[in-house]
């Protein structure tokens, strides 16, 4: 390769399969693990990434024996492809090794171009140039060539993929809003219908479809969209549609025109922007400082928090606020949280305790194993399954010993095997009764709790501000609903984090302190990446962990 071609700028793409181009020629990035190492560096452009974090992200629970040497080998392969004029093991300006880890200096990255195009489209929209703005948004969306970070697996890549998908959905909402504002509703109906199937929880897309149908003279179909949306949200989330859908429905019923004045598609929706984490940790994306000021309608704001940091972001870190000591009155968009979550059951479930204690007595030990089988199905833990299997094995043993000689129909005398079976049966009655009562008095995980946690996660993803106000993941607050036992890593106090099984008080202090020093967590997968907990512990606790994005407010770290 000539010096001129080697000096040509590189372009990297992650909005699909990870690719690299020099001019218009795609480069061969080598094996899958080498592409994964490149992806980790692309998620932290211009920032040093320690070797151990590359190993955790690429290999997860099965790291190679000598991870440092393996990463060095793949980095040498990347240098050979990306910077061919240098020796593969000679540090260069493109991919360098620093005291903090490997640093990739990215010249052009498609996700940066995507975000810059959306900011430019917002400027054009504010200036009333809707045709130009719509074209700019479509060109930004054309940068996507499949599922982001396609083919890569692991907590880091999954979190980044989810954040990018949210940004893509918000971009589609922006494109549809521009189309409606310039009167192109006829051609939007089919596209919005497709987008709703792809993003069923995006209320903005459903409201835009209702407006497009209404402005096309298809009022009945617009109202049918609302009925379908309401049925879907009630079935999937147990919640009514949010304020925007409700208001759109009311305006259509009153036959009020839309877009006589600019409409704010994000009215009343203030997405929190958490502070950036340290340079080597995964951190939420916040729009660059050069983004245009708000306008009417409101400017584009990427939905939720992408874990990919912006290349040009150089914000100062600002501590963020924990949730208030008591949940404030509900004032955000969307349904009242009390409508979403059932009242929490307080105290000991005495009915279940009595049933568990009486079952061995009523059935003369024949049904002593039934409650333990029920508890194993509900809690789904290895210990409960082993206990249920043990009681069932004792029941089978008892029946086998008592029926081993079916020809013996005489009542007296009993043979030794029958006596052993009867003895086991009599022993099972008090043991199973006491054990079952104790087990029932300490409710563990169950199907209802898992369903509540899933509902709470969905609600927090749709409305982070509402989740903070409702106290999701805050067992230290007095609440009128049940979130299934979630613990919010970004807001829960030290004592609640320490109550999680397998987390010592020292580890809990480190987790809480780290969120103040290096920024909030975007997912529980960051705990092992920050060196706070083993990956095995996080994987076991992940059903009970949530990371609700914090508001950007000033707060001093708590005294630990």
Of 410, 442, 474, which marks where a domain is finished? Answer: 442
**Domain hosting residue 456, numbered range:** 451-546
Q: Which pLDDT value is given to residue 228?
A: 92
Instruction: Tell me the three state secondary structure of residue 209.
Output: helix
Residue 230 placed within a domain? no
Positions in the chain whose pLDDT score sits under 70: 1-8, 86-93, 184-186, 259-348, 379-381, 405-414, 442-447, 478-481, 552-560
Measured at the CA of 233, the angle between CA 231 and CA 234, to 5 degrees, comes to 65
Q: Which pLDDT value is given to residue 318?
A: 35
Residue 117 placed within a domain? yes
How many residues are there in the chain?
A: 560
| Number of domains present in the structure of the chain | 3
**Within this chain, do residues 72 and 14 fall inside the same structural domain, yes or no?**
yes
Q: Which pLDDT value is given to residue 5?
A: 46
**Backbone angles phi and psi of 304, in degrees to 5:** 50, -145
- Radius of gyration for the alpha carbons in the chain, expressed in angstroms and rounded: 29
**Within this chain, do residues 171 and 105 fall inside the same structural domain, yes or no?**
yes
Q: Which pLDDT value is given to residue 226?
A: 93
Asked if 192 contacts 212 with a C-beta cutoff of 8 angstroms, the reply is yes
Q: Which pLDDT value is given to residue 61?
A: 79
Residue 205 placed within a domain? no
**Within this chain, do residues 110 and 88 fall inside the same structural domain, yes or no?**
yes
Of 442, 460, 475, which marks where a domain is finished? Answer: 442
Query: Environment class of residue 31 by beta-carbon count within 10 Å: exposed (0-12), middle (13-18) or buried (19+)?
Result: exposed
Asked if 57 contacts 529 with a C-beta cutoff of 8 angstroms, the reply is yes
**Within this chain, do residues 16 and 76 fall inside the same structural domain, yes or no?**
yes
Of 399, 415, 442, which marks where a domain is finished? Answer: 442
Residue 388 placed within a domain? yes
Instruction: Tell me the three state secondary structure of residue 330.
Output: coil
**Within this chain, do residues 366 and 481 fall inside the same structural domain, yes or no?**
no
Instruction: Tell me the three state secondary structure of residue 104.
Output: strand
pTM: 0.49
Residue 242 placed within a domain? no
Selection from 316, 310, 315, 317 nearest residue 42 by Cα: 310
**Within this chain, do residues 88 and 177 fall inside the same structural domain, yes or no?**
yes
List Cβ neighbours of 431 (8 Å cut-off, separation of 6 or more): none
**Within this chain, do residues 149 and 102 fall inside the same structural domain, yes or no?**
yes
**Within this chain, do residues 77 and 57 fall inside the same structural domain, yes or no?**
yes
**Within this chain, do residues 153 and 41 fall inside the same structural domain, yes or no?**
yes
> Alpha helix (H) ranges present in 309-381?
337-340, 350-362, 370-379
**Within this chain, do residues 395 and 513 fall inside the same structural domain, yes or no?**
no
**Backbone angles phi and psi of 102, in degrees to 5:** -85, 140
Asked if 250 contacts 226 with a C-beta cutoff of 8 angstroms, the reply is no
Q: Which pLDDT value is given to residue 487?
A: 93
CATH number at residue 115: 1.10.10.10
CA distances from 178 to 62, 259, 284, 300 (A): 48, 11, 27, 11
**Within this chain, do residues 271 and 412 fall inside the same structural domain, yes or no?**
no
**Within this chain, do residues 431 and 471 fall inside the same structural domain, yes or no?**
no
Tokens of 175: 């494109």
């Amino acid at each position: 390769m000539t010096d001129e071609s080697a000096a040509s700028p590189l372009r990297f793409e992650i909005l699909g399969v990870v690719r690299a181009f020099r001019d218009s020629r795609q480069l061969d990035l080598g094996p899958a693990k080498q592409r994964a190492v490149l992806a980790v560096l692309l998620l932290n452009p211009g920032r040093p990434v320690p070797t151990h974090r590359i190993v955790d992200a690429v290999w997860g629970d099965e790291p190679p024996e000598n991870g440092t040497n393996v990463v060095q080998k793949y980095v040498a392969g990347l240098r050979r492809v990306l910077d061919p004029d240098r020796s593969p093991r000679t540090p260069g300006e493109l991919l360098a090794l620093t005291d903090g880890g490997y640093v990739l200096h990215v010249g052009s990255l498609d996700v940066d171009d995507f975000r810059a195009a959306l900011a430019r489209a917002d400027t054009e929209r504010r200036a009333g140039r809707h045709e130009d703005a719509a074209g700019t948004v479509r060109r930004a969306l054309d940068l996507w060539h499949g599922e982001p970070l396609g083919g890569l697996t692991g907590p880091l890549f999954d979190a980044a993929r989810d954040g990018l998908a949210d940004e893509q959905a918000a971009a589609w909402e922006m494109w549809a809003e521009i189309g409606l504002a310039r009167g192109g509703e006829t051609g939007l109906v089919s596209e919005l219908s497709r987008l709703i199937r792809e993003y069923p929880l995006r209320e903005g897309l459903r409201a835009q479809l209702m407006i497009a149908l209404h402005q096309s003279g298809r009022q009945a179909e617009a109202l049918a969209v609302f009925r379908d949306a309401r049925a879907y949200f009630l079935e999937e989330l147990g919640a009514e549609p949010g304020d925007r859908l409700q208001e759109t429905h009311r305006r259509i019923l009153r036959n009020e025109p839309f877009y006589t004045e600019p409409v704010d598609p994000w009215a009343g929706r203030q997405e929190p922007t958490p502070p950036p984490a340290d340079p080597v940790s995964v951190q939420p994306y916040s729009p660059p400082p050069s983004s245009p000021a708000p306008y009417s309608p409101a400017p584009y704001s990427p939905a939720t928090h992408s874990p990919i940091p912006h290349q040009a972001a150089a914000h100062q870190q600002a501590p963020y606020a924990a949730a208030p000591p008591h949940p404030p009155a509900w004032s955000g968009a969307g349904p009242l949280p009390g409508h979403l979550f059932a009242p929490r059951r307080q105290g000991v479930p005495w009915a279940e305790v009595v049933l568990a204690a009486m079952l061995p007595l009523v059935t003369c030990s024949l049904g002593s194993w039934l409650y333990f089988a029920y508890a194993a199905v509900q809690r789904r833990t290895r210990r409960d399954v082993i206990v249920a299997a043990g009681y069932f094995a004792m029941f089978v043993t008892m029946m086998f010993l008592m029926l081993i000689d079916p020809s013996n129909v005489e009542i007296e005398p009993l043979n030794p095997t029958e006596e052993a079976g009867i003895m086991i049966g009599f022993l099972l009655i008090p043991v199973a009764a006491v054990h079952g009562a104790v087990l029932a008095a300490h409710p563990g995980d169950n199907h209802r709790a898992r369903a509540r946690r899933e509902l709470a996660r969905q609600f927090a993803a749709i409305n982070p501000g509402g989740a903070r106000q409702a106290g999701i993941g805050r067992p230290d607050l007095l609440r009128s609903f049940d979130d299934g036992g979630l613990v919010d890593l970004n807001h829960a106090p030290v004592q609640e984090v320490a109550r999680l099984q397998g987390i010592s008080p020292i580890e809990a202090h480190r987790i809480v302190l780290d969120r103040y020093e290096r920024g909030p967590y975007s997912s529980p997968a960051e705990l092992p990446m920050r060196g706070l907990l083993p990956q095995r512990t996080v994987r076991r606790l992940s059903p009970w962990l949530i990371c609700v994005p914090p508001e950007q407010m000033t707060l001093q770290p708590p005294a630990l």
